Amino acid sequence: MIAVAPTEQLPVAQARTHDSQAWDQLFRRYQLPLYAFVFELVRQEQPALDIVQETFVRAAKHLHTLLDDSKFGSWLFSIAHQQCARHGRKSHREQALDAETIEEWVDDTPPPDAWLIRQEHAEALHEALETLPPAHRCVITLHFLEDFSLEEIADITQTPVGTVKSRLHYAKKALRRRFEERHPL
């Protein structure tokens, strides 16, 4: 996934004045990374789309509360994280990644044998991700797929940086162990 470059100039101030072009630019910039993050947490396409939409609605409504425009990305992901938590409280069921989603994550251009190995590894990784507690899956997704810093993840999840570090450490350890159990070297 694409992460926001720290030097990227976003039209947050213009969006605050209800400039529709600024909101369109912000939406185009964040819609896919936000969807990927939300989908990783809720595991269902339609609820993920609904949460992304609700996230932007809430961002538009509460943009005046954002004190530092350079933090827009982490602030937006924080709203999405809260919406996912709200959704999780409503629905305790989690859906597994379907084969189509796994195929999208795997490059299909290499030779068939390399593709098969990569497909098998991707499936093992996603199965291992499925076994992680939601808090650990969240930090793994934000750090490795969305490329947020530990401090930004702490802001998004509203937890101390030490807790983020701990969750990341234990999540990586658990992923490694589960992956190696299925694919010994």
Positive or negative, the CA dihedral 42, 142, 175, 183 is: positive
Domain membership flag for residue 2: no
Domain membership flag for residue 60: yes
Domain membership flag for residue 78: yes
Q: How many domains does the chain have?
A: 2
- Answer yes or no: do 85 and 127 share one domain: no
- Answer yes or no: do 89 and 118 share one domain: no
Distance, in Å, from the CA atom of 35 to the CA atom of 41, rounded to the nearest integer, reads 10
Domain membership flag for residue 13: yes
Cβ(72)–Cβ(10) under 8 Å?
yes
- Answer yes or no: do 84 and 20 share one domain: yes
* Nearest Cα to Cα of residue 97 among 40, 38, 18: 40
Domain membership flag for residue 1: no
Residue 168 belongs to domain with CATH number: 1.10.10.10
- Answer yes or no: do 81 and 118 share one domain: no
- Answer yes or no: do 82 and 13 share one domain: yes
- Answer yes or no: do 71 and 11 share one domain: yes
The distance between the two most distant Cα atoms of the chain, rounded to a whole number of Å, is 57
What's phi and psi for 149, nearest 5 deg? -75, 165
Domain membership flag for residue 12: yes
Pick 3 or 11 by higher pLDDT.
11
Domain membership flag for residue 11: yes
Query: What's the chain look like in SS3?
Result: CCCCCCCCCCCHHHHHCCCHHHHHHHHHHHHHHHHHHHHHHHCCHHHHHHHHHHHHHHHHHHHHHCCCHHHHHHHHHHHHHHHHHHHHHHCCCCCCCCHHHHHHHCCCCCCHHHHHHHHHHHHHHHHHHHHCCHHHHHHHHHHHHCCCCHHHHHHHHCCCHHHHHHHHHHHHHHHHHHHHHHCCC
Residue 44 belongs to domain with CATH number: 1.10.1740.10
- Answer yes or no: do 20 and 86 share one domain: yes
* Nearest Cα to Cα of residue 37 among 48, 22, 28, 24: 48
- Answer yes or no: do 78 and 121 share one domain: no
| For residues 122-141, average pLDDT | 80
Q: What pLDDT digit, counting tens, does each position of 20-77 carry?
A: 999 999 999 999 999 988 988 888 889 999 999 999 999 999 998 888 888 899 899 9
- Answer yes or no: do 85 and 128 share one domain: no
Domain limits at 174?
Answer: 111-185
pTM for the predicted model, two decimal places: 0.59
Domain membership flag for residue 106: no
Q: What pLDDT digit, counting tens, does each position of 65-120 carry?
A: 888 888 899 899 989 998 888 887 665 443 444 444 445 544 444 455 555 556 66
Q: What pLDDT is recorded for position 185? A: 59
